[in-house]
Amino acid sequence: SQTIHQWPATLVQPVGSPLSLECTVEGTSNPNLYWYRQAAGRGLQLLFYSVGIGQISSEVPQNLSASRPQDRQFILSSKKLLLSDSGFYLCAWSAGTGAHPHFGDGTRLSIL
């Protein structure tokens, strides 16, 4: 069966520090991969999605970036975090375009 791992579960970072969140998927090949951000108790905002290695589409202009160095690895990064980057970050995978996403357990990011 397919599983998705996302870490860390929680992270507290100072303003201006770098960020690296990692997500890996097991049990499937060539998945679509997604990074979402969720404000407290609210809906999801799609940040990035990828349909293949090295292929990244950005939905929202920001100081975040994403990379897909391997088929089942998706990384969310920032060179300098802002206070507004605080939130709940969710990684997800789907079997292809049109298939529903399966989510990881998320990373709670707090910027101080």
Partner 1 sequence: TQLLEQSPQFLSIQEGENLTVYCNSSSVFSSLQWYRQEPGEGPVLLVTVVTGGEVKKLKRLTFQFGDARKDSSLHITAAQPGDTGLYLCAGGDSNYQLIWGAGTKLIIKP
Residues that bind partner 1 (CB under 8 A): 9, 41-46, 90, 92, 97-98, 100-106, 108
Nearest CA to 48 among 58, 39, 40, 38? 58
Least separation in angstroms between residue 81's CB and partner 1 is: 21
Check whether the bond before 8 is cis (ω within 30° of 0). Answer: yes
**Would you list the DSSP string of 19-30?**
EEEEEEEES-SS
Query: How far is 13 from 15, CA to CA, in rounded Å?
Result: 7
Evaluate whether 89 touches 39 at the Cβ level (below 8 Å): no
Least separation in angstroms between residue 79's CB and partner 1 is: 26
Least separation in angstroms between residue 53's CB and partner 1 is: 20
Least separation in angstroms between residue 102's CB and partner 1 is: 8
Residue 14 or 41 having the CB closest to partner 1 = 41
Token code pair at residue 102: 């399966």
Residue 90 or 111 having the CB closest to partner 1 = 90
Residue 9 or 82 having the CB closest to partner 1 = 9
